[in-house]
């Protein structure tokens, strides 16, 4: 897949100036923020958007979201929590939830402080993922991708402050 070429060419480092990311020509940093939960630092997040990106229509645009972990978590826990958070962003069946959680559980590794998971939203196609710059795979389901990235970008997110920080440089 074209978008996965991003992972072979480079990774986006925290605080780095916006590169020319191959399959996302002209992408630029929109914002970044830190997720804290009960006073604990969980991860730093950065959003890279393509020209024309609009907050109100994020699901219709290609973008890259990076999570730089500051704590250790199992891939299974990340998959479970993702499904819980996705429920805030839109409705889906229990069958879909089970399928998506299983797919995420197979795809996502355990993380330790310093590890990075990168996701590319491919509108109308699905999501591609990398771990520390190496391709993990993809989930080819447009609804999954919109709801998954909605965890951070939807107005219904459980973390509105982080959403605001990530979208700070993107037009409404």
Residues 65-102 have pLDDT tens digits of 999 999 999 999 999 999 999 999 999 999 999 999 99
Given a contact cutoff of 8 angstroms between Cβ atoms, the answer to whether 141 and 1 are in contact is no
Q: How many helices (H) and strands (E) does the chain have?
A: 5, 6
Stretch (H or E) spanning 151: helix 142-153
Task: Please tell me which residue, 24 or 101, carries the higher pLDDT value.
Answer: 101
pLDDT, tens digit, 9 for 90 and up, residues 117-155: 999 999 999 999 999 999 999 999 999 999 999 999 999
Polymer length in residues for the chain: 172
Q: What is the mean pLDDT of the chain?
A: 88
The pTM of this model reads: 0.87
Q: How many CA atoms lie within 13 A of 105 on its CB side?
A: 11
Q: At what angle do helices 75-89 and 94-107 cross, to 10 degrees?
A: 140
Which residue segments constitute the domains of the chain, with CATH numbers given? 2-166 (3.50.70.10)
pLDDT, tens digit, 9 for 90 and up, residues 149-162: 999 999 999 999 99
d(CA 153, CA 155): 7
């Amino acid at each position: 897949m074209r978008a996965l070429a991003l992972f072979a060419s480079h990774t986006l480092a925290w605080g780095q100036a916006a590169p020319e990311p191959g399959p996302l020509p002209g992408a630029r940093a929109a914002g970044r923020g830190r997720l804290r939960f009960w006073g604990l630092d969980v991860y730093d997040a950065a959003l890279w958007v393509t020209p024309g990106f609009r907050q109100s229509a994020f699901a219709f645009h290609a973008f890259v979201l990076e999570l730089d972990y500051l704590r250790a978590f199992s891939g299974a826990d990340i998959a479970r929590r993702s499904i819980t958070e996705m429920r805030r962003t839109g409705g889906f069946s229990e069958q879909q939830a089970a399928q998506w959680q299983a797919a995420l559980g197979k795809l996502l590794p355990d993380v330790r402080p310093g590890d990075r998971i990168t996701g590319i939203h491919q509108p109308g196609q699905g999501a591609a993922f990398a771990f520390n710059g190496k391709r993990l795979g993809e989930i080819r389901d447009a609804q999954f991708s919109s709801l998954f990235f909605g965890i951070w970008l939807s107005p219904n997110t459980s973390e509105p402050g982080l959403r605001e920080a990530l979208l700070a440089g993107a037009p409404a």
